[in-house]
């Protein structure tokens, strides 16, 4: 039996696609081994979102050759799509596949082995108009499933290479989504996280069905108790959308609304398609509709041309919104994007200072959000055991608070009423309630 090892870089969408490729190899009777183990075939699913992602993709690829100099190495994903020639030059690489055709990975690998020559199978992603079905039947964990429902992006934010790596928007067919959700429910999953490259654009390419319709369909599947959306932009949260969401009791009170900057001039240069005023209006609507809702976000500091005055506006804005959690990135120029060529790049030292300032503000808001719930009971979906000796389990509330609770029983995969006790650095300790909430 041939052995195959996988390595995944980057986002949840990549992780989903690797899971699907693993399943394809298992079905074809290959043995899956760890990446650090000796394997006959190594498959690296790459990321290209930053130049660091590119470098890491190359390093990991070289690592495979150190483990087995005779190995067949296939490099797939975003970096392959953007720079197939560079990937082909990496010693040992025999097959390069982009962000499409991964559903056929077993076939492509077997053909390339037979031909015994380097194969570049990267196609022009801009010519691809259909969602590539790569569904998963046997998810490894049994609690929360990240499910890919959408591919590609047509937004062209000026700092982002992803539209060139993933191509135009493509939506997964509703029947296929529902089939997978039903399977997940049958296999004991409690929570589904709807993911994609630009989830908010779901449906725009396939006619009448929109994201909210899909959410309602998923909501109707028995056995699934929570539905969460991955990152979305504020524009999709119209009055009607929020109103329809508010009638669905399985919707998690958690919205990850990408902000990127709290200053309209910066947002414009980023080609983000909303203003801070529009953003705030959506946050207010969500807060008025869902009690204790968590609003989380991403922010980039040091975008080209970000003056002190612009940064001040961002600071004021995040102080006004008070996010329950923030991911803060220092802008790093990505070759091939318009912003990388902008003249007024911000000095690294200034980016460091700005990142530190907003991180401190974000930490205060996060702490204040979590502390509001101390002493209260909330439902927690326990996902994994963190410490065997101490019998500690980790889980999430629907409004995205990480909880760590001690239990002698195995509570993985269960949604249990838990009293929130103490705020630690990045989690809250809980105690299981015996009474129901």
Interface with ligand SF4 by CB under 6 A: which residues?
Answer: 153, 155-157, 160, 162-163, 197-198
* Cβ neighbours around 100 below 10 Å, total: 24
Please report how many Cα atoms fall inside a 13 Å half-sphere around the Cα of residue 276, on the Cβ side. Answer: 19
Residues contacting 360, CB < 8 A, separation 6+: none
The backbone torsions φ and ψ at residue 309, rounded to the nearest 5 degrees and listed phi first, read -65, -40
Which one, 203 or 430, has the nearer CB to ligand SF4?
Answer: 203
Are the CB atoms for 48 and 80 separated by under 8 Å? no
For residue 201, the minimal CB distance to ligand SF4 (Å) is: 9
- Coil, helix or strand at residue 402: strand
Which one, 38 or 156, has the nearer CB to ligand SF4?
Answer: 156
Which one, 30 or 159, has the nearer CB to ligand SF4?
Answer: 159
Which one, 35 or 164, has the nearer CB to ligand SF4?
Answer: 164
CA 255 to each of CA 116, 123, 248, 297, 435: distance values in angstroms, whole numbers, following the listed order:
49, 35, 15, 8, 29
Which one, 155 or 264, has the nearer CB to ligand SF4?
Answer: 155
Which one, 163 or 262, has the nearer CB to ligand SF4?
Answer: 163
Degrees, nearest 5: CA angle 50-54-59: 140
* DSSP, res 276: H
Which one, 55 or 273, has the nearer CB to ligand SF4?
Answer: 273
For residue 14, the minimal CB distance to ligand SF4 (Å) is: 13
| Measured distance CA(222)–CA(219) in Å, rounded | 8
Residues contacting 25, CB < 8 A, separation 6+: 4, 32, 105, 106
Which one, 40 or 132, has the nearer CB to ligand SF4?
Answer: 132
Which one, 270 or 381, has the nearer CB to ligand SF4?
Answer: 270
Beta strands 254-256 and 294-301 are: parallel
Are the CB atoms for 6 and 45 separated by under 8 Å? yes
Long-range CB contacts (within 8 A, 24+) of 334-340: 334/49, 334/50, 334/51, 334/159, 334/160, 334/161, 335/51, 335/161, 336/82, 336/161, 336/164, 337/158, 337/159, 337/160, 337/161, 338/158, 339/158, 339/159, 339/269, 339/270, 339/303, 339/304, 340/159
The DSSP element (H or E) to which 67 belongs, if any, is: helix 51-67
Which one, 145 or 160, has the nearer CB to ligand SF4?
Answer: 160
| Measured distance CA(76)–CA(102) in Å, rounded | 8
| Measured distance CA(236)–CA(241) in Å, rounded | 7
Buried b (16+ CB within 10 A) or exposed e, 249-278: ebbbbbbbbbbbbbbbebbebbebebebee
Which one, 259 or 420, has the nearer CB to ligand SF4?
Answer: 259
Indicate left, alpha or beta for 400 from its phi (over 0: left) and psi (-120 to 50: alpha): left
């Amino acid at each position: 039996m041939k052995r195959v090892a996988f390595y995944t870089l980057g986002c949840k969408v990549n992780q989903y696609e690797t899971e699907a490729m693993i399943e394809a190899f298992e079905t074809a009777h290959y043995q899956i081994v760890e990446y650090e183990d000796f394997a006959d075939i190594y498959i690296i699913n790459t990321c290209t979102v930053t130049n660091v992602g590119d470098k890491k993709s190359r390093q990991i690829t070289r690592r495979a050759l150190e483990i087995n100099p005779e190995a067949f190495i296939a490099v797939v994903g975003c970096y392959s799509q953007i720079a197939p020639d560079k990937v082909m030059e990496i010693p040992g690489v025999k097959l390069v596949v982009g962000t499409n055709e991964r559903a056929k990975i077993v076939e492509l690998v077997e053909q390339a082995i037979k031909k015994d020559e380097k194969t570049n199978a990267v196609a022009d992603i801009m010519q691809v108009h259909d969602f590539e079905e790569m569904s998963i039947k046997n998810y490894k964990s049994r609690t929360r499933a990240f499910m890919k429902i959408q591919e590609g992006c047509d937004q062209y934010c000026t700092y982002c290479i992803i539209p060139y790596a993933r191509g135009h928007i493509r939506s997964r067919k509703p029947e296929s989504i529902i089939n997978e959700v039903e399977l997940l429910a049958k296999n004991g999953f409690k929570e589904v996280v709807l993911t994609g490259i630009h989830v908010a654009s779901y449906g725009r390419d396939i006619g009448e069905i929109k994201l909210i319709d899909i959410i309602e369909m998923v909501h109707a599947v028995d056995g699934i108790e929570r539905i969460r959306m991955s990152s979305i932009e504020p524009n999709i949260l119209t009055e009607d959308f929020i109103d329809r969401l508010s009638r669905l009791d399985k919707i998690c009170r958690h919205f990850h609304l990408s902000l990127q900057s709290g200053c309209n001039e910066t947002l414009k240069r980023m080609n983000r398609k909303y203003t801070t005023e529009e953003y705030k209006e959506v946050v207010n609507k969500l807060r008025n509709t869902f009690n204790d809702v968590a609003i989380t976000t991403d922010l980039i500091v040091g975008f080209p041309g970000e003056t002190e005055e612009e940064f001040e506006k961002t600071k004021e804005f995040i102080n006004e919104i008070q996010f329950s959690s923030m991911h803060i990135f220092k802008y790093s120029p990505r070759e091939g994007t318009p912003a990388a060529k902008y003249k007024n790049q911000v000095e690294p030292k200034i980016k460091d200072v700005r990142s530190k300032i907003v991180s401190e503000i974000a930490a205060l808001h996060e702490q204040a959000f979590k502390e509001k719930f101390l002493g209260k009971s909330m439902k927690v979906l326990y996902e994994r055991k963190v410490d065997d000796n101490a019998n500690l389990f980790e889980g999430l509330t629907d409004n995205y608070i990480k909880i760590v609770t001690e239990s002698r029983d195995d509570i993985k995969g269960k949604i249990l009423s838990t009293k929130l006790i103490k705020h630690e650095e990045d989690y809250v300790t809980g105690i299981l309630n015996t009474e129901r909430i």
